[in-house]
């Protein structure tokens, strides 16, 4: 194929290169399908336990193993995106996801199904860092907001639509259709990508540090898995006792400390697996901190809300999914609009009111009881979705645009890794609080009222945490615009 090079300098009015935009559309579709698949499994676990004849603690491995694989692979993506070609990374990720989906579809039993989920997760983990790095590489600085707005749709819409789609499928069809309906889309993305995906820039021949990979897997993987077990300590999905979980978390923290030390040594010669020089940018650090707090509150709340809707209000899985659907649609509509506002005005006019809306919604959720009208909950979820839509794009754009181009891939890896860890921490904290408070209610309190009390306490904690994000939003600023960005990147 012929090779084309983007011009070294772009005036502010320059159009986005159509070839680069084609690559981004491919990545958006692939990332949406991958993350949609990730979020359909939670509701399906009870069905799988019954169909496969397995214990709930064993069935929970279908989500825990997926999450664990994500936590292990994502930190490595910064290195991968520099070491290998864009086309190669995309085709590898899409092939892994497609293969894993096929294995899950035809799985004769639990062991093969679990293997398929691990292979799926290996491909999914690469998608969002690849998408964000590509946006930063091929989109001029003055247009990144609206493209990041589309990436924000993927991050927010897929997790919300997944449970709804899963509920509808499970009410009418076999659990295999969760994979059967996704497989043709995955195959189409793979075939289209094989035809149209381009390489961006030239790969760098970097040395891979095996010790860093091992420490990263033990640290991030152990932390995410340990937190998931801590959240399930009072539930059937807990696989280990408190002492074992405490030991696992301690080992994970020690491994993370050694991983950080190792990266600080290696980055002196540009050989780090995850280059921590991204934190030298104060604005990147502030934006990522706000993002982590939002992820902690959001993922914990999105896990808590279906439990409340089904266990306290008595809704079905499908009805619970429909409660969050209007807000999800709103986020999809607002993504590009929010991006254009960011390009014109910067992050603060969006981020400050956005985080305040998220906090307000969580405080409203903290007032729920055994008879809260579903319509009220739907409106509150719409308010929260509006706030998230106004927050994601400014945080993505402000954080990564604060970095030098050679650190984009590492910045996206850091951003996505911290989202995984914060999300696991949020689920652990809120579910653990709910179960502890519910189990601590007097014997005279019925089970539904006890769980309602636990949900109330958990949402109070989430709302309190969200205040940190609201305050932090005042300190995130727009990076100095480089109208010549992106730097030259060969497409071939």
Give the pLDDT of residue 408.
85
Closest CA to 449 of 372, 371, 370: 370
Place of tokens 């400014």: 394
For the entire predicted model, the pTM comes to: 0.80
Residue 11 has pLDDT above 50, yes or no: no
Task: Report which of residues 136 and 363 the model is more confident about.
Answer: 363
| Residue closest to 178 by CA, chosen among 197, 165, 187 | 165
Instruction: Report the alpha-carbon distance of residue 20 to residue 27 in Å, rounded.
Output: 11
Asked whether residue 10 is domain-assigned, the answer is no
- 271 alpha carbon, distance to own chain's centre: 26
pLDDT over threshold 90, residue 116: yes
- Structure tokens, 395: 């945080």
Average pLDDT for 251-278: 88
Give residue-wise pLDDT tens across range 183-198: 998 999 899 888 887 7
- Dihedral Cα 395, 427, 76, 162, nearest 10 deg: -80
Is residue 3 in a domain? Answer: no
* Residues 348-370: b if buried by 16+ CB within 10 A, e if exposed: bebbbbbbbbbbbbbbbbbebee
Residue 238 confidence (pLDDT): 52
Specify which of 91-95, 144-148, 247-251 reaches the highest per-range mean pLDDT: 91-95
Q: Please answer whether residues 196 and 429 qualify as being in contact, where contact means their C-beta atoms are separated by less than 8 angstroms.
A: no
- Which is it for the CA torsion 283, 128, 485, 393, positive or negative? negative
Residue 265 has pLDDT above 80, yes or no: yes
pLDDT digits (tens, 9 = 90+) for 309-349: 878 888 876 777 788 778 877 887 787 888 888 888 889 99
Of 384, 64, 30, 16, which Cα lies nearest the Cα of 238?
Answer: 64
Q: pLDDT tens digit string along 298-318?
A: 777 777 887 788 788 888 767
Residues sharing a CB contact under 8 Å with residue 138, sequence separation 6 or more, in sequence order: 6, 16, 17, 20, 21, 23, 24, 200, 486, 489, 491
Q: Does 6 map to a domain?
A: no
Q: What is the mean pLDDT of residues 275-289?
A: 91
What per-residue confidence (pLDDT) applies to 234? 40
Three-class DSSP category at 490 = strand
Distance CA 439, CA 193 (A): 51
Q: Looking up tokens 């254009």, which residue turns up?
A: 340
User: Is residue 227 situated within a structural domain?
Assistant: yes
Inside any domain, residue 358: yes
Q: Is the pLDDT of residue 1 over 70?
A: no
pLDDT higher than threshold 90 for residue 249:
no
pLDDT given for residue 248 in this prediction: 84
- What confidence score (pLDDT) does residue 10 get? 41
pLDDT beyond 50 at 162: yes
Give dist(CA 139, CA 148) in Å, integer: 10
State yes or no: pLDDT of 76 exceeds 80: yes
Domain that holds residue 217: 15-491
Mean pLDDT of the region 84-89: 84
pLDDT, greater one: 113 or 488: 113
Residue 481 predicted with pLDDT over 70:
no
pLDDT at 111 over 70: yes
Is residue 1 in a domain? no
Is the pLDDT score of 147 beyond 70?
yes
153-157, 188-192, 464-468, range with the lowest pLDDT: 153-157
The answer to whether residue 9 sits within a structural domain is no
Q: What is the pLDDT of residue 435?
A: 82
Dihedral sign for Cα 460, 444, 442, 239, please: negative
pLDDT at 12 over 50: no
Total domains, the chain = 1
Residue predicted with more confidence, 379 or 222: 379
Provide mean pLDDT across the span 462-482: 86
List the CATH number of the domain containing 290: 1.20.1250.20
Residue with tokens 């990436």: 151
Summarize the confidence of residues 403-424 as an average pLDDT.
85
Confidence band for 4, pLDDT divided at 50, 70 and 90: very low
Predicted confidence band of residue 131 (pLDDT cuts 50, 70, 90): confident
**Residue 258 banded pLDDT, cuts 50, 70, 90:** very high
């Amino acid at each position: 194929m012929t090779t084309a090079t983007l011009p070294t300098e772009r005036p502010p009015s320059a159009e986005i290169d159509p070839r680069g935009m084609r690559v981004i559309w491919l990545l958006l579709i692939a990332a949406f399908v991958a993350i949609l698949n990730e979020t359909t499994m939670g509701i399906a676990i009870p069905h799988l336990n019954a169909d496969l004849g397995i214990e709930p603690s064993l069935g929970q491995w279908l989500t825990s193993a997926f999450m664990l694989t994500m936590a292990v692979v994502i930190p490595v993506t910064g290195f991968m995106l520099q070491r290998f070609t864009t086309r190669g990374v995309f085709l590898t990720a899409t092939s892994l996801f497609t293969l894993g989906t096929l294995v899950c579809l035809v799985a004769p039993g639990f062991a093969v199904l679990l293997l398929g989920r691990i292979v799926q997760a290996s491909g999914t983990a690469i998608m969002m860092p690849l998408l964000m790095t590509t946006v930063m590489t091929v989109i001029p600085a003055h247009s990144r907001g609206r493209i990041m707005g589309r990436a924000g749709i993927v991050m927010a819409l897929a997790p919300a639509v997944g449970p709804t789609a899963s509920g509808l499928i499970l009410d009418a069809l076999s659990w295999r259709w969760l994979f059967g309906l996704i497989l043709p889309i995955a195959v189409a993305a793979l075939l289209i990508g094989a035809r149209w995906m381009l390489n961006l820039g030239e790969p760098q021949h970097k040395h891979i540090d095996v010790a860093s990979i091992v420490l990263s897997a033990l640290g991030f993987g152990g932390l995410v898995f340990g937190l998931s077990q801590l959240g399930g300590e009072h539930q059937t999905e807990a696989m280990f006792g408190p002492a074992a979980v405490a030991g696992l978390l301690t080992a994970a923290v020690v491994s993370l400390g050694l991983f950080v030390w190792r990266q600080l040594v290696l980055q002196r010669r540009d050989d780090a697996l995850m280059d921590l020089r991204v934190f030298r940018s104060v604005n990147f650090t502030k934006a990522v901190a706000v993002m982590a707090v939002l992820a902690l509150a959001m993922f914990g709340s999105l896990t808590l809300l279906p439990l409340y809707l089904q266990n306290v209000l008595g809704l079905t899985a499908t009805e619970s999914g429909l409660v969050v659907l209007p807000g999800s649609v709103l986020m999809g509509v607002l993504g590009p609009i929010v991006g254009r506002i960011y390009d014109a005005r910067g992050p603060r006019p969006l981020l400050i009111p956005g985080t305040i809306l998220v906090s307000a919604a969580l405080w409203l959720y903290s007032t729920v009881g055994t008879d809260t009208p579903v319509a009220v909950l739907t409106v509150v979820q719409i308010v929260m979705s509006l706030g998230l839509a106004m927050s994601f794009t400014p945080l993505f754009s402000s954080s990564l645009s604060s970095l030098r181009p050679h650190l984009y891939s590492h910045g996206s890896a850091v951003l996505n890794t911290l989202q995984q860890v914060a999300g696991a921490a949020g689920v652990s904290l809120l579910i653990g609080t709910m179960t502890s408070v519910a189990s601590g209610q007097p014997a005279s309190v019925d089970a539904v009222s006890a769980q309602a009390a636990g949900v109330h306490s958990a949402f109070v904690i989430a709302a309190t945490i969200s205040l940190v994000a609201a305050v932090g939003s005042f300190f995130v600023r727009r990076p100095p615009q480089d109208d010549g960005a992106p730097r030259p990147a060969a497409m071939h």
